[in-house]
Chain A
Amino acid sequence: NAGVTQTPKFQVLKTGQSMTLQCAQDMNHEYMSWYRQDPGMGLRLIHYSVGAGITDQGEVPNGYNVSRSTTEDFPLRLLSAAPSQTSVYFCASSYGSDGRVSPLHFGNGTRLTVT
């Protein structure tokens, strides 16, 4: 049981380049999300999905796109990378919420540097 798998672990981009951060989970979780972690700012929600075919914006969505064509995968696309997007990105998933506790399971992160 792999849990939440993120690839790549490290990436360096030049300003203006595009790329996709991959996230896959094998726990049949309905809910998936992307966070970015920056020093002194904790984790901020970028985008999330409550199920296949459904996505929504989080706190800091600008410059990022997502799609959810399957339950397992939730890729994050950077359309035109900027130095402000240098960060560590985490994908997280959990069971669908029905009011019960539903803790997030995190991947190990992708460390992105934009020069």
Chain B
Amino acid sequence: GEDVEQSLFLSVREGDSSVINCTYTDSSSTYLYWYKQEPGAGLQLLTYIFSNMDMKQDQRLTVLLNKKDKHLSLRIADTQTGDSAIYFCAETAGGGNKLTFGTGTQLKVEL
């Protein structure tokens, strides 16, 4: 079955860039997503990338996709304390609704 892996923790200083990595196993993945979860809340969609794209930029967020290595990354430029949260990558095959989520990466931003 599908498997999506992430490192559990990342700590950065305010103002630095954060890079959160994700690897997946399903070669038929069509869409790959990044979700953000703040304490006590549900997940909110940050951005997504279609599998035929290498990169997508949205303000401070840059998503890189290496389809050959099945590696996805999320870069947050000028990281702020408000970016502290858990970040989940997720994938779905064939444009379907069933998402497979990674374990989540807890991002801690220090002053």
Contacts and interface: CB of A to CB of B under 8 A. Distances in A.
B42 A97 contact: no
Interface in B69-111: 88, 94-104
A101 B43 contact: no
B48 A103 contact: yes
A43 B87 CA distance: 12
Given A40-B8, A42-B104, A102 B97 contact: yes
Contacts of B50: 101
B98 A58 contact: yes
B44 interface: yes
Contacts of A50: 97
Interface string A84-110: 000000101010111111111111110
Contacts, number: 64
B94 A99 contact: yes
A97 B44 contact: no
Contacts of B45: 103-105
A76 to B, nearest CB: 15
A31 interface: yes
Given A40-B8, A42-B4, A42-B103, A104 B97 contact: yes
A44 B101 CA distance: 7
Interface of A: 4, 31, 33, 35, 40-45, 48, 50, 58-59, 90, 92, 94, 96-109
Given A42-B101, A107-B42, A108-B40, 14 more contacts: A31-B97, A40-B103, A42-B104, A43-B43, A43-B101, A44-B101, A45-B98, A90-B42, A99-B30, A101-B31, A102-B97, A103-B33, A104-B45, A108-B41
20 contacts: A33-B97, A33-B98, A41-B103, A42-B102, A43-B88, A44-B101, A45-B99, A97-B96, A98-B95, A99-B30, A100-B95, A101-B31, A101-B50, A101-B95, A102-B97, A106-B44, A107-B42, A108-B40, A108-B41, A108-B42
